[in-house]
Amino acid sequence: MTLNIDSRIDSRIETRSIALRRRAFAAAISLALAACVSQVAAYEIDEDATVYDTPTTILGINHIGLSVSDLDAALAFYQGVTGYTLLRRETITSDAAATLYGRSDIRYETAVLEAPNMLFELTEFSHNQGKPTTKMPAQGPGMTHTCFQSPSADSAFDRFKAAGAEILSRGGEPVDLGGYGVTYAYAYDADGNMFELEQLDAGPLAVGAYNDRWKAQGYNSWMTQVALVTHDIVRLTDFYEEILAFAPYRDGDYVNNERMGDITNIDNLSLLASWFRMNERSKTIELWQYRNPITEEYIGKRGVTDFGYSFSIEVGDIQAEYARMSELGVEFVSAPVQLGDFWQAFAHDVDGNVFSLRQATDPNSPYSVPQLER
């Protein structure tokens, strides 16, 4: 199942041509955030590192998954606000699914939305019916949120708020963090899943992910990140550096930043952070460790079907990556299984968070990372 990925080199080279401008903008953000900042040591930062530097077959983030209590309500909420295309909605119960999820009684209904740069998959598992949902605190632990970016002039924040999102950030409005043209807010859906909303003025919009093709297709928001909150950021950063095989490009140590406190609705906020750049167009894996309030250690492993977030790392050769990561100590639920458009395998990171590997059965699939990110 090894894919010929030579045809994807041209698109990667093209993305590098705009890297310097985007990194200059990222540097401006870093400077604005860095009140009371000191460096986190233990891993090495490479400001130029991206997923394109990995010697593995890793391609990037393919999807964000969300296990929900009511698929009808979740779909109405997220699709109603974003307008993302519904690719399919189907009920699945099969031997392949039972192997993939590691339980014989698996039955679920899923709705797959296409954002302009990744997939967003909402799933209701039958065995979760009647279970209580909980609200994810900003300090975690776990995958606390994903992020929707939008132009300030056509704000996804306004649409989510009008649709009934519960705004966590103080004042019920986005917060201007550093005067560099981006505002931020945290919000909750009806299940208590947190998500971030970032609004970009014309300057950052011009050097960010937004492009004429998305605009012509009617997209006015896009998804940008996997956010994981941990009790030990050095350990988790080391883990992802090892499996991704490239370095984080940024880190920070933030103490008593009042505007960050306004975003999270936390007084005397203190936290550490690190970031991995998953493409040149603002997809990231970001890691956080709160020191005030303290991020507690999560004991055990999260269930693959538990309410809340998961995400997938798309690869060009899932058998090779499954073998490589297994040798590194990653624990998988099963060997790779073909289900639908992808070969897939679920795993847990060192904190017990759920992620998966994916390989498109068709390397030219419109739902594979190289095509999704065009």
pLDDT digits (tens), the chain, 374 positions: 433 444 443 444 444 444 445 554 554 454 444 434 434 447 899 999 999 999 999 999 999 999 999 999 999 999 999 999 999 999 999 999 999 999 999 999 999 999 999 999 999 999 999 999 999 999 999 999 999 999 999 999 999 999 999 999 999 999 999 999 999 999 999 999 999 999 999 999 999 999 998 999 999 999 999 999 999 999 999 999 999 999 999 999 999 999 999 999 999 999 999 999 999 877 999 999 999 999 999 999 999 999 999 999 999 999 999 999 999 999 999 999 999 999 999 999 999 999 999 999 999 999 999 999 88
Can you give the pLDDT at residue 23? 52
Number of H helices, E strands in the chain: 11, 19
**CATH superfamily of this structure's domain 9-50+136-292:** 2,3-Dihydroxybiphenyl 1,2-Dioxygenase, domain 1 (3.10.180.10)
Q: Dihedral sign, CA of 287, 291, 295, 296? A: positive
pTM score: 0.89
CA distance 97 to 125: 12
Bridge partners, residue 182, by sequence:
200
Per-domain boundaries in the chain: 9-50+136-292, 58-133+303-372
- CB-based contact 112:88 (threshold 8 Å): yes
Can you give the pLDDT at residue 35? 39
What are the two backbone dihedrals, phi and then psi, of residue 346, each rounded to the nearest 5 degrees?
Answer: -85, 150
Structure tokens at 15: 């993305």
Can you give the pLDDT at residue 282? 76
Can you give the pLDDT at residue 225? 96
Can you give the pLDDT at residue 9? 37
Q: How is 45-90 classified by DSSP, letter by letter?
A: --TT--GGG-SSSEEEEEEEEEE-S-HHHHHHHHHHHH--EEEEEE
CA distance 158 to 173: 9
CA distance 77 to 193: 12
CATH number of 58-133+303-372: 3.10.180.10
